[in-house]
Structure 1
Amino acid sequence: MRAAVQAEVVEVAHRLFTEQGFDRTTVDQIAGEVGLSRASLFRYFGTKEEIVLGRLEESGRRIAEALAARPDDERSWEALRRAFDVLTQANEQAPEQTLAYLRMLQETPSLRAGHHEKQMRWQELLVPDIARRLGADPSHPEDTRPGALAAAALACLDVAATAWVACEGTVPLAVLLDRAMGAFTE
């Protein structure tokens, strides 16, 4: 029941955010359309921003799972690129919705900051598998390679997403991501 209510809140909120903008949409509007009180809505989501950013935690887990499933002999950079396919393929299924979502993340300062925080968590999720692939000892924090690879790959993902929004999706996100990550192999 809880998951169904949360999904309905997210769906309604995203529609309102797309129609009116994030800042012009109130929590009371969202709660009213879903049939909840403001207090009840806040039992499901701690903040208005969390309604938007909550999905990102699951995305990070899916990327980490995809990375762990890549062949052990695959180079870390290629494994990271292929792990991001879980996002690029999902975006291809609903490109207009994803463009609107990413545009909102990029244009709203509080969401942009929250997105950055979530991606820092993604980095933490990716580092252990990268360290394993590199034969790095996690008890040696001075080995910065796993963190650097994860951070650089996530920066490439951000650059590609920004370009994808700027070109209104006319170039596939996967192509833009290949270009961004390919810059490190030249």
Structure 2
Amino acid sequence: MNDQQGRPAGLRERTRRAVQAEIVTAAMRLFLEYGFEATNMDQIATEVGMSRRSLFRYFGTKEEIVLGDHAAHGQVLQASLEKRPAHEAPWPALRAALVQLLRSLPYDSEDFLKITAMLHASPALRARRGEKQQRWTELLVPDVAARLGAPEDPRVRLRAHALVASALACSDVALEAWVDSGGAIGVEDAFDEAVAAVRG
């Protein structure tokens, strides 16, 4: 794994990321079993075999544990979008990148449904998730602006921003429909319907 400048991460940083991943996995297991609101940081610390004080060196709150993973997903989404053919139009490129992100997640369909329901049900998580999603928008706009042909033009960047924000909003609506239906409505089908409504 590389750092933000593309250089190989040092041993200390790789170790830290490995511990963070272990904490996230353990916390998600507790959240799914007992619920987000009913799980506290002491329980998470016990689950991973560390003190509460040590846990706080990695995550300050439960929200950070859940949404730190969400922030990393933004980088996966950015990389997926950048791998799409340069001539591909923004909407299909964004759709393909979002589908690739969904398929890369380390959860089975049932667990992911529960996690998504948890994200939507908690007001604190919903508010914080909006902040993280703004970061997703910032990551994706440059690629979409390039697909529109003039990445340095302020008006083109405005259009790119609108396209990305709309695609992410459609993704949210699709996931919410999926959760509300108990998984009966497919996420990809729901996303396509939401996009058709926006573009129609």
| Pair in the same fold by TM > 0.5 | yes
Q: CA RMSD in A?
A: 1.9
Return the structure number with greater helix share. 1
> Given residue 10 of structure 1, which amino acid in structure 2 is its aligned partner?
V
Match of 1:117 in 2: 131
Aligned to 1:10: 24
CA contact (8 A) 2:148 2:156 kept: no
Gaps spanning 5+ residues in structure 2: where?
Answer: 1-14
Residue of structure 2 in register with 1:20 after alignment:
34
TM-score, normalising length: structure 2? 0.86
Larger RCO, structure (CA 8 Å, separation 6 or more): 1
The answer on 1:168 being equivalent to 2:182 is yes
1:141: how far off?
A: 6.1
Structure 2 Cα separation of the partners of residues 25 and 96 of structure 1: 20
Correspondences of 1:142-181 after superposition (within 5 Å): 143-181=157-195
8 Å CA contact retained: 1:10, 1:51: yes
CA distance in 2, matches of 1:134, 1:17: 42
Partner of 1:48: 62
User: Aligned letter for 2:68?
Assistant: G
Change in CA separation of 1:42 and 1:55 when aligned onto 2, cut-off 3 Å: same
Distance 2:42 2:90 in 1: 46
Q: Given the alignment of the two structures, is residue 29 of structure 1 paired with residue 43 of structure 2, yes or no? A: yes
1:71-122 CA distance string (max 9 Å, x none): 1221111111111112332369611111111111101111111111111100
Aligned equivalent of 1:128? 142
Select the residue among 103, 123, 126 that pairs with 2:117: 103
Deviations 1:130-167 (A, max 9, x none): 11111234362685101100000000000000001111
Q: Which residue of 1 aligns with 2:197?
A: 183
Give me the identity figure in percent.
Answer: 49
1:72 corresponds to which of 86, 89, 99? 86
CA distance in 2, matches of 1:14, 1:173: 21
Cα contact 1:88–1:174 (8 A) shared by 2: no
Unaligned runs of 5+ in 1: none
Q: Which residue of 1 aligns with 2:52?
A: 38
Distance 1:100 1:131 in 2: 35
| 1:28 Cα offset (Å) | 0.6
Distance of aligned partners of 1:120 and 1:155 in 2 relative to their CA distance in 1, 3 Å threshold = same
Q: Which amino acid in structure 2 is aligned with residue 25 of structure 1?
A: T
- In the TM superposition, structure 1's runs of 4+ consecutive aligned residues that sit over 3 Å from their partners are 90-93
Any idea what SS the aligned residue of 2:154 has? coil
